[in-house]
Structure 1
Amino acid sequence: MRQLVLVLRVVSCLLLAGLILAPFTQIIMRGVFDVPLAGAEEIARYMLICLTFLAAALVSLEGGQIRMEEFQGMLPERPRWLLQMAIEIAGIVFFSVLSVAAFLTISRNFSSTTATLEMPFVFFMGPLAIGAAFLAFACASLFWTTFSRGKPDEKQTTLT
């Protein structure tokens, strides 16, 4: 699991760097050399899509998703534990269905390309399919942790 987290972290940092460099390069090319970089917007959009879907599992594994912790904190321990497990089961189901749907869409549009860069559809939709699969795996991992612990996550909200 640590290796997966490390790979996701490195890939996310590289994608973030690419997301910053694509518009920056476009600004320099257009502003300084008066030669626009064809496809820079599509490259930036692609980096954003990849970053969003691939880093989402990392965010989930590290507890960064919105969880309505204030509401959960008001519940007694046993219902809170059951609610947390139900949320993770819902995540497993939802992201598994999303991943399968994305892989099916890719397989049905395998020869299609994007408009500007003529990027193969599999590369454009791939981050969604892979990211949803990673999210399903992350939800399964979180479910197993919550289930095996036998009690809910501690909820503490600090107000400043």
Structure 2
Amino acid sequence: MKKLEHIFVALNGWALILMLTAMTVIVGANISLRYLTGHSLPWADEAARYLMIWMTFSGAGLVLRTGGHVAITNLQDALPQMGQKILRGLLVLGLLIFFGFMVWVGMQYAQRMQYQVTPALRLPFLYIYAAMPVGFGLMILHLLLIAHPFITAGAYKHLEDEEAGEASLPGGANG
């Protein structure tokens, strides 16, 4: 199970790296063309915007698993140990319900937009708005993977833990 989790996290991370790389290349090429030739790519800004949307929704789950989202812990810190566990369990349950609702809303919205196309790329908006249900679906998976340690100990997966897990796999990251 840990190996599947590691593969899932690595694939999520690589998808973000590829989207960021594509966005950087597109924007860089557009700037270079604008200054060298006086002409720019008419679709570059739109492509960069849509890649940014996909990166935001796709990366939110990775941030969630390391505790990178904003949190106010005053109430949790004021409670006894058992109260903290109950509160964290309720938080996880509430987040799962909210994320599931957002997947449903995102799917409905994406389906409604499937016949409209983007101005420059002429892509159906379905592909752009699909970032919402996909991103919240990824957040559900990430939350389920960290729920037990978060509820019981209030601990998140830290990047050092991920790297230590990678080093302990047979053959390193490729194993």
TM normalised by structure 2 equals 0.78
Which residue number corresponds to residue 137 of structure 2? 133
1:17-76 Cα offsets, whole Å, 9 max, x none, are 122222211110101111111111111101110110001111112222222245533432
1:62-141 counterparts in 2 under 5 A? 62-69=66-73, 71-141=75-145
Consecutive unaligned residues of structure 1, counting only runs of 5 or more, are: 156-160
Over 6 Å off, 4+ runs:
none
Other structure's SS at 2:153 match? coil
- Structure 1 window deviating more from structure 2 (73-82 vs 123-132): it is 73-82
Alignment match, 2:17: 13
3-state secondary structure, aligned to 1:64: coil
Partner-residue secondary structure (3-state), 2:114: coil
Letter in 1 for 2:153: P
8 Å contact from structure 1 (residues 89, 143) kept in 2: no
How much does 1:5 deviate? 0.3
Distance in 2 between residues matched to 1:7 and 1:70, nearest whole Å: 35
Contact 1:39 1:116 in 2 (8 A): yes
- State the percentage of identical aligned residues: 20
List runs of 5+ in structure 2 lacking aligned partners.
157-175
Alignment partners' CA distance in 1, 2:122 and 2:104: 24
TM-score when normalising by structure 1: 0.84
Query: How big is the alpha-carbon RMSD for the aligned residues of Structure 1 and Structure 2?
Result: 2.0
Task: Tell me by how many angstroms 1:131 deviates.
Answer: 0.5
Aligned residue for 2:37, secondary structure, equals coil
